[in-house]
Structure 1
Amino acid sequence: NMELLGQYNDATLPDGGNSQKKYNDIWGYAANGREYALVGNAAYVLFVDVTSPTSPVLIDQIAGGDTTIWRDMKTYENYAYSISDNTEEGMMIFDLSDLPNTVSKIAQTSDFFEEAHNIFVDEPNARIYVTGANTLQNGLIVLDISNPLEPVMIGNDTLLGGYVHDVYVKDNIAYCSHGYNGFFVWDYTVADEPVLLASLSTNGYNHSSWVSEDGSYAIFAEEVPQGLPLGVADLTTLPNGFMEVESYFQFPLITNDVKKNTPHNPFIRGNYAIVSYYEDGVQVIDLSDISNPVLAGYYDTFPNNTNYAEYFGCWGVYPFLPSGNIIASDRKYGLHILKFDEDAATATDNFTSKDISIFPNPSDGTFNILMNKNNSESNSIIFEVSDLSGKITHHQVLNKNADVVDLSFLPNGFYFGKIIMGEKEVVKKLVIGY
């Protein structure tokens, strides 16, 4: 129930010497009825018109001066701000008002830092929060952008949790991922006098987070070590000075690996978490019941892996375009424009990836398919196999609760197996010959 509408991947773009790391983060922008993707490349910030998702068009690519695997971009009004890590680029400011014709870099300043890891724009309060800056390793820089072209530093404080990897901000409350020190929540109502509201020790390197629309919970990702699940933190107890973990969860597409998939950057839209999941691409997770999240859909932007071993694949995702389309950046394969079918996801709530086992996988071409719960419905079960281009290569009606599928006639490679039961669907990655 996730469909690839379009893709942009320029083979001539620099990759810094590693084709697996050509692209990095992504952000979205919409104005005058048109939609755009801002995509980080090793050397450039790309501005791509995705209004027609099947035919994305590059409007501009603007260099910062250095090569890096870390870029981050955010927007405010008709401006975009871009920073990078392990560089001396400082912060770039772009004027987006002439889109879809062109984009102009109107400023590049190192007044506040030369390198930083992430930024977040708190739009209602006209502030940029800067993490991982070389001028403040153990805290947040806060910039007032009431005048978007002339940022003013209004906060520059060291924080108890030390280095901040990433931050989400709403109503002057900063939800900070402090790496191995955990997840901290700070009140920045007075920008140069932050107040600690609560902190939470987590299982690994707390990398990033996003907060639900009602502010009742946050979802956080831990990047190191590999294979840690996503966590849900209950925020309703913040007035009492503490937080608790409500649940942990993950839905690896490869189920026969001892290691598990690794999340990178989570977002929340309505009751869904939309997560960039490195080697598993984009996952959409239903959080209607935060104590029992359900995988509602996914699209694998990086089908190369047969196990979980690297931090390759999907880096970032942006789910807030007016069209509802989801844009994602894969480190090797670039920009993906995706459509999530929420109606189909609702129909599959009681039939998920956990309910189907396909083994062995990888295989020589013969796969066993087992329903992990009894199929009491009268619907026939259809099994469809498609290649990476979407071409259907096999169609078969399965026995009710178990069957064997022979795909040995197909060339070695990566495929997708779709199990269809009435209006319900589950898709799994298949690997032949590895």
Structure 2
Amino acid sequence: MRDLRGTRRGIRRTGDLLPRLHRRARDLRHHRQGESRRAGERRLPRRGGRPPGWLTEDHRYFFLGDELDEESGTVPNTRTLVWDVVELDDPVLATEYFAETRSIDHNQYVRGDFLYQSNLLGGLRILDVGDPENPVEVAFFDTVPTDDDATAFGGTWSNYPYFESGVIAISSWNEGLFLLRKRERVLVP
């Protein structure tokens, strides 16, 4: 496995990875819709900016969101593509994770075994990705609880889960800054 941190070549290489993953995701979508030729073989219009994503700490998996697939109705719920990128020249779609909400996914970050997703009007979603091919939601905080399932822009734009204290900073479009701490589940006998 290649270590991509701190090298100009590695940074350029990971930058090239996003368009490749995006093309493969379109290929998969068009294959499922019964089209006979791959989407990568022709020009498709681009609908928006780069999809947000983040690597696991071991750089084996890449969690990729497409912030416009929920809004366009391409998928039923918030979707995260989990790519096995151990071979950068041949990434493999390991799984698709669908959340319970339909909100637009935006920025997401990995810290340890957890993926912290800012899913706009669906709020901060924390997924246990100890097994990256089987993500499980373990916590959430909604900054706009009145619009829980909306596929529109607003709510939590980004988050920062890297403070040593365990505090998670969340920015929300109109609601301001939230400082949270993830609590461990306590089982009551």
User: Could you say which TM-score interval applies, normalised by the shorter chain?
Assistant: 0.7 to 0.9
1:274 is the counterpart of 2:122? no
Work out whether residues 252 and 280 of structure 1, in 8 Å CA contact, stay in contact via their aligned partners in 2: no
Helix, strand or coil at the partner of 1:220: strand
Q: Are the equivalent residues in 2 in contact too, given 1:327–1:335 (CA < 8 A)?
A: yes
Residue 228 to residue 307, structure 1, CA distance change in 2 (3 Å): closer
Residues 172, 276 of structure 1: alpha-carbon distance in 2 compared, 3 angstrom cutoff: same
Structure 1 equivalent of residue 82 of structure 2: 232
The yes-or-no answer on 1:183 pairing with 2:27 is no
**Equivalent-residue separation in structure 1 for 2:179 and 2:165 (angstroms):** 11
Q: Could you tell me how far apart the structure 1 residues matched to 2:104 and 2:60 are?
A: 25
Which residue pairs with 1:298 in the alignment?
A: 140
- Measured after TM superposition, the shift of residue 230 of structure 1 is 0.7
SS of aligned partner of 1:207 = coil
Name which one, 1 or 2, has greater alpha-carbon Rg.
1
In structure 1, C-alpha distance between the alignment counterparts of 2:124 and 2:20, rounded to whole Å: 24
Cα distance between partner residues in 2 of 1:235 and 1:320: 23
For the 8 Å contact 1:285–1:294, the answer to whether it is kept is yes
- Match for residue 381 of structure 1? none
**1:177 Cα shift?**
7.5
Counterpart pick for 1:320 among 162, 165, 185: 162
CA contact (8 A) 1:264 1:278 kept: yes
Task: Write the mapping of 1:389-404 to structure 2, written as runs, cut at 5 A.
Answer: none
Contact 2:142 2:148 in 1 (8 A): no
Give the counterpart letter for 1:336 in structure 2.
F
Q: Is the 8 A contact 1:219 1:230 kept in 2?
A: yes
Alpha-carbon distance in 2 for matches of 1:340, 1:170:
33
Contiguous gaps of at least 5 residues in structure 2? 30-46, 71-76
Distance in 2, matches of 1:316 and 1:213, equals: 19
1:286–1:170 Cα change, 3 Å: farther
Aligned-partner Cα distance in 2 for 1:177–1:318: 23
Question: Which one-letter code corresponds to 2:59 in the other structure?
Answer: G
Which protein, 1 or 2, shows the higher relative CO under an 8 Å CA cutoff with sep ≥ 6? Answer: 2
* Residue-pair matches, total: 160
Instruction: Note the C-alpha offset of 1:306.
Output: 5.2
The corresponding residue for 2:62 is 218
- In 2, the alpha carbon distance for the partners of 1:324 and 1:170 equals 29
Partner Cα separation in structure 1 for residue 146 and residue 10 of structure 2: 38
Mapped to 2, the partners of 1:270 and 1:212 lie a distance apart of: 8
SS at 2:53's partner residue? strand
The aligned counterpart of 1:332 is 174
Root mean square deviation of aligned Cα: 2.9
| 1:207 partner amino acid | P
Other-structure match for 1:245: 93
Which residue of the partner structure matches residue 188 of structure 2?
Answer: 422
In structure 2, C-alpha distance between the alignment counterparts of 1:123 and 1:292, rounded to whole Å: 26
What residue ranges of structure 1 are gaps of 5+ in the alignment? 1-121, 128-168, 185-198, 254-259, 348-420, 424-434
Counting helix residues as a fraction of each chain, which structure ranks higher? 2
Q: What is the match of residue 174 of structure 1?
A: 14
Alignment map for 1:29-428 (pairs within 5 Å): 124=6, 173-175=13-15, 183=21, 200-202=24-26, 203=29, 207-226=51-70, 227-238=77-88, 241-253=89-101, 260-305=102-147, 307-341=149-183, 343-344=184-185, 422=188
The separation in 2 between residues aligned to 1:216 and 1:324, in whole angstroms, is 24
Q: Residue by residue, what CA displacement relative to the aligned partner does 1:385-433 show, whole Å, maximum 9, x if unpaired?
A: xxxxxxxxxxxxxxxxxxxxxxxxxxxxxxxxxxxx627xxxxxxxxxx
Instruction: State the SS of the aligned residue for 2:94.
Output: strand
Give, in angstroms, the shift of residue 271 of structure 1. 1.0
State the match for 1:113 in structure 2: none
1:251: Cα distance to partner?
Answer: 2.2
